[in-house]
Structure 1
Amino acid sequence: MENLLTKDIVEKYGFRFSKSLGQNFLIDNSVLMDIVNSANVTEEDTVIEIGPGVGTLTRELLKKAKKVYAIELDSDLIPILTEELKEFDNFELIHKDALKVNFNEIIGGEKNVKLVANLPYYVTTPIISRLLNGGYNFDSLTIMIQKEVGERIAAEPDTKEYGSLSILVQYYCDIEVIRKVSPGSFVPRPKVDSIVLRLDKLKNPRVDVKDKDLFFKIVRNSFNMRRKTLWNALKSLKLPKETMETAFSNAEIDPKRRGETLSLAEFGRLSDCILDLS
């Protein structure tokens, strides 16, 4: 069932979509409610929404949450959101680029914080990376993103989708695929399918590593050129040959393997063994 509110608001204000901002507004009410319900927002929760559009999803979140902060970059949407959501005293609009926002300033001392967003495709990976690497106090991230990116996030080792993004998200989160979303659920229609994921932050990272920065550096280097063996990919670390030989031996990992075959635990083991010897 279509959500007429989105189309009505777009028409009411004569809003023009921006291709450069990757704007595709959700018009399918069943998807909208699936996002809201899977985010499991309660009156104890503070919600941060990135890219609220004309506020259709925001409105539903405001009905459930203690407070909703909506971060919107497009100046043309600010007066629309201000007017359409003026009835809610638990709404705060932040006119900024989500990639430059200090989320700790928004979160403050709040303990129950959830992020909900229909993320523009072009900023999906940088925003997810920033939210997870920043150590922010989120309980969960319920996001609608490009299906291809969602499949990479949830991918298992030894598949073509598996890569550094898979490891980043799985290091910090449990992943639940909520549903797939067709292009017809948006206006204007995107050229690709979308997917809704819920990422629940783990209390502790999935693997315990001695040096997180080194761990992720090894992961990135291992996937920079996927067809390279680990031995060749990790030459960029510029460590002595003997050190690397011993590290691989101690980690019980064949240096002829490719990065895409290693589990998080194996990357963690290799990282710790390299650290111990360098």
Structure 2
Amino acid sequence: MKKNSGLPLSAKAHSNTESQHKARKRFGQNFLIDHGIIREIVRAIHPRKDDLVVEIGPGKGAITQLLADACDNLHVIELDRDLVPWLKVKFEKYPNFQLFQADALQFDFAQLIRDEKPLRIVGNLPYNISTPLIFHLLSYADKVQDMHFMLQKEVVKRMAAQAGDSAYGRLGIMVQYYCAVEDLFDVPPTSFDPAPKVDSAIVRLVPHTTLPYVANNVKTLETLVNVAFQQRRKTLRNSLKQLLTAEQLEGLPVDLQLRPEDISLAEYVAISNLLGDLSVQHRPTEEAE
């Protein structure tokens, strides 16, 4: 005769799901298992009791547990339907825990705002959607206090890169237009299950309360940067000639013999403001990102 474990049925189901759920490649899942790294991440976030925290991709709740213990308002967004009931059981004792089964790429983060309190967004982001998700979140920058993300180390380097760096490009320019970027620390593959084939890093993004450089038309700035970095190995003159006339090129306040990676954010904003509204739309290539 089998002994009763003493666990309620919901707890048994919770335990079984945790042990049986395998990371899904299509969701880009790599679950954090290093408790030292988990604590270090939460220390970097430094959640406070009255913060409005949003976690993207809680997975098996490694970071979620410490966040739920630290703050009274925690919203999580999970795409994997199989994890949703398990997470609901695990965190059912927290009255202000709210779970959304949704795609973060399509999610309206503005709906979470209460009493004008800004969002604090955190997440171990799937590498396969990290860049488009970052761009989606930047559209809510005026509603965000800060963001802390686990990303592929290469992506964090690109976000923090300055003009002249080989990693400098579209991603870094547009992220830095909206936010101060801080590369906090690296995370080795052994901290995950399954272990990814690349190193990871934690980045902190803090939206500017006042933009250091103001683009008259952000869409124009985006188009300019996209076109420039589609041919990043060419001079700025050759990169932009598909977009600008010879007369416009000669009127730019930069050395046209420089490459796109040598032009600062301030200079790109200045160029975009001179150009006005660019109606030409260019789909960014992988290299442009």
What is the TM-score when the length of structure 2 is the normalising length?
A: 0.87
Q: Given the alignment of the two structures, is residue 88 of structure 1 paired with residue 89 of structure 2, yes or no?
A: no
Per-residue CA deviations over 1:98-138 (Å, capped at 9, x if unaligned) read 01111111224441320010111111111111100344501
Q: Secondary structure at the match of 1:44?
A: coil
| CA 1:154–1:19: 2 relative to 1, 3 Å | same
Which residue in the other structure is 2:284 paired with? Answer: none
Which residue in the other structure is 2:234 paired with? Answer: 228
Counterpart CA distance in 2 for 1:193 and 1:135 is 27
Contact 2:157 2:183 in 1 (8 A): no
| CA 1:165–1:75: 2 relative to 1, 3 Å | same
Q: Secondary structure at the match of 2:183?
A: strand
Unaligned runs of 5+ in 1: 1-7
In the TM superposition, residue 160 of structure 1 has moved relative to its aligned partner by 1.3
Per-residue CA deviations over 1:233-270 (Å, capped at 9, x if unaligned) read 11232x43213212x1xx2x111211100111111122
Which residue in the other structure is 1:200 paired with? Answer: 206
Q: Given the alignment of the two structures, is residue 270 of structure 1 paired with residue 242 of structure 2, yes or no?
A: no
Letter paired with 2:262 = T
Letter paired with 1:33 = R
Q: Secondary structure at the match of 1:75?
A: coil
Which residue in the other structure is 2:190 paired with? Answer: 184
Which residue in the other structure is 1:15 paired with? Answer: 21
| CA 1:276–1:177: 2 relative to 1, 3 Å | closer
Letter paired with 1:104 = A
Counterpart CA distance in 1 for 2:240 and 2:161 is 23
Contact 2:79 2:101 in 1 (8 A): yes
Q: Secondary structure at the match of 2:224?
A: helix
Q: Secondary structure at the match of 1:236?
A: coil
> How high is the sequence identity, in percent, across the aligned residues?
39
Number of residue pairs aligned between Structure 1 and Structure 2 = 266
| CA 1:276–1:28: 2 relative to 1, 3 Å | closer
In the TM superposition, residue 63 of structure 1 has moved relative to its aligned partner by 1.2
Contact 2:48 2:71 in 1 (8 A): yes
Q: Secondary structure at the match of 1:33?
A: helix
Q: Secondary structure at the match of 1:30?
A: helix
Which residue in the other structure is 1:127 paired with? Answer: 133
Runs of 4 or more above 6 Å deviation:
none
Q: Secondary structure at the match of 1:197?
A: strand
CA RMSD in angstroms, aligned pairs only? 2.0
Which residue in the other structure is 2:166 paired with? Answer: 160
Letter paired with 1:241 = A
Q: Given the alignment of the two structures, is residue 26 of structure 1 paired with residue 9 of structure 2, yes or no?
A: no
Letter paired with 1:28 = D
Unaligned runs of 5+ in 2: 1-13, 280-289
Q: Secondary structure at the match of 2:55?
A: strand
Which residue in the other structure is 2:223 paired with? Answer: 217
| CA 1:147–1:197: 2 relative to 1, 3 Å | same
Q: Secondary structure at the match of 1:74?
A: coil
In the TM superposition, residue 220 of structure 1 has moved relative to its aligned partner by 1.2
| CA 1:145–1:10: 2 relative to 1, 3 Å | farther
In the TM superposition, residue 76 of structure 1 has moved relative to its aligned partner by 0.7
Counterpart CA distance in 1 for 2:130 and 2:176 is 16
| Residues 113-124 of structure 1: pairs in structure 2 closer than 5 A | 113-124=119-130
Which residue in the other structure is 1:38 paired with? Answer: 44
Q: Given the alignment of the two structures, is residue 141 of structure 1 paired with residue 147 of structure 2, yes or no?
A: yes
Q: Secondary structure at the match of 2:148?
A: strand
What is the TM-score when the length of structure 1 is the normalising length?
A: 0.90
Counterpart CA distance in 2 for 1:10 and 1:245 is 67
Which one of 151, 169, 181 corresponds to residue 175 of structure 1? 181
Which residue in the other structure is 2:105 paired with? Answer: 99
Q: Secondary structure at the match of 1:139?
A: strand
